[in-house]
Amino acid sequence: MSCDFSGTLLHAYLDGELDAMRAAEFERHLETCRECTATLGAAESLRSSLQRAQLYETAPIGLRNELRKKLRSELKGSTAGANGSTITAWRWLAVAASLLLITGVAWFAVPHFRPEAPQSSVTSTEIIDAHIRSLQAGHLTDVASTDQHTVKPWFDGKLEFIPPVHDFMDEGFPLIGGRLDVLGERNVAALVYGRRKHFVNVFVWPTKEPDTPIHPPGSRQGYQWVHWRHKGMEFCAVSDVSAPDLQELARLIIQSESPSVSLLK
C-alpha cells in the first residue's frame, strides 16, 4: 500500500466523518488516485453486502417480557443494597466523565489528520443532515424576511455573534430568512437563500482561524457544499444546486463584506 489516504482517511470519508473541507479535498484526491478508488470501491461493496445480508439479530420476544418481570423483582431485592448501587453509579459517572474528556481531547488530536490543515470539526454528514432537516415543513426559517435589515438584527441577542446578512436578489440569490441551528454541538446562524426553486443554507459561526479561500466543492448524496473563512467567521454553504452556483453565492458573500462594497449596501 503506497497511498497515505487509503488507510484511515478513506474510511472516515466512507462513513461521512470527515469535515466538509477534508471531504472535498479527499474527493479531489480520488480523481487521480487509482489505489484509493479501488479501495473505496471494495469498501463500498462490502458495506452493501453487509446491509443486504440483514445480519442484525433482534431479541427474542420472550426476553423482553422476562426482563420486565425481573426488573420488578429487582426493585424488591435492591432496597437493601441501595447505598451500594449509588456508589457504583457515581463511579460510573466518573468513568463516563473521564471518557468524555478523553474522547473530546482525542477528537482534536487525531494523529491521522494532517496537522497543518486547520480543523473545522463539522463533518459533511452534519452539514447535509442540517440542510435536509431544514427542508422539512416549518423548519426552514425562524425569521422569514427578504429584508437584510430585519434578518440581521433578529440574530442579535440570540447568538454570541452577528452573522453578515445581505440580500442578493439582483444576482439571483434572494434572501429568504434566517434561523438558529446546531452544528457539531455549537450554535450557528443559518441564512437561507433561494436559487430558482431551490434553497441554499449558509451556516455561519465565529472562528479564530485565519481566512481561507472558497474551497473546491464537496458533494455527497446529491448535495454540494463549499466552505471558507473570512474575517473571523467560518462559512459553509450547502444545497442541491450546482457547485458553480454555490461558489458564486460564496463570492457574493465575501465581496459584500469587503469595505468598499459594504458602504454601498
Partner 1 sequence: MSTTGQGKGWDVLESQDRARFEQLVLPHLDAAFNLSRWLLRSRTDAEDVAQEALLRAFRFFRGFNGGDARAWLLQIVRNTCYTWLEKNRQVELMTEFDEDLHQQSSATPEALAIAGDNRERLARALETLPVRFREVIILRELEGCSYKEIAAIISVPIGTVMSALARARQRLQRALTQPAEQEASHEL
Judged by the rule CB under 8 A, the positions of this chain that interact with partner 1 are 1, 7-8, 10-12, 15, 17, 38-39, 41-60, 63-64, 66-68, 70-72, 74-75, 78-79, 82, 85-86, 88-93, 96, 99-100, 102-103, 105-107, 109-112
**Is residue 27 helix, strand or coil?**
helix
Angle at 122 between CA 180 and CA 235, to 5 degrees: 60
Which residues, 6+ apart, have CB-to-CB distance to 134 below 8 Å? 140, 179, 181, 190, 192, 199, 201
- Measured from the CB atom, the residue of 11 and 251 that comes closer to partner 1 is 11
Q: How many CA atoms lie within 13 A of 225 on its CB side?
A: 30
- Measured from the CB atom, the residue of 32 and 48 that comes closer to partner 1 is 48
Least distance (Å) between residue 159 CB and partner 1 = 24
Least distance (Å) between residue 70 CB and partner 1 = 6
Least distance (Å) between residue 165 CB and partner 1 = 32
Least distance (Å) between residue 20 CB and partner 1 = 16
CB–CB of 33/240 below 8 Å? no
Which residues, 6+ apart, have CB-to-CB distance to 140 below 8 Å? 134, 176, 177, 179, 192, 199
Sheet holding 218-220, edge to edge: 143-144, 175-183, 186-195, 198-206, 233-239, 223-230, 218-220
Least distance (Å) between residue 201 CB and partner 1 = 21
Least distance (Å) between residue 12 CB and partner 1 = 6
- Measured from the CB atom, the residue of 88 and 242 that comes closer to partner 1 is 88
- Measured from the CB atom, the residue of 67 and 182 that comes closer to partner 1 is 67
- Measured from the CB atom, the residue of 92 and 261 that comes closer to partner 1 is 92
CB burial of 64-92 (b: ≥16 within 10 Å; e: otherwise) equals: eeeeeeeeeeeeeeeeeeeeeeeeeeeee
Least distance (Å) between residue 5 CB and partner 1 = 11
- Measured from the CB atom, the residue of 110 and 169 that comes closer to partner 1 is 110
> Residue 252 is placed in which grid cell?
457574493
- Measured from the CB atom, the residue of 91 and 198 that comes closer to partner 1 is 91
Which residues, 6+ apart, have CB-to-CB distance to 13 below 8 Å? 22, 23, 26, 40
CB–CB of 192/200 below 8 Å? yes
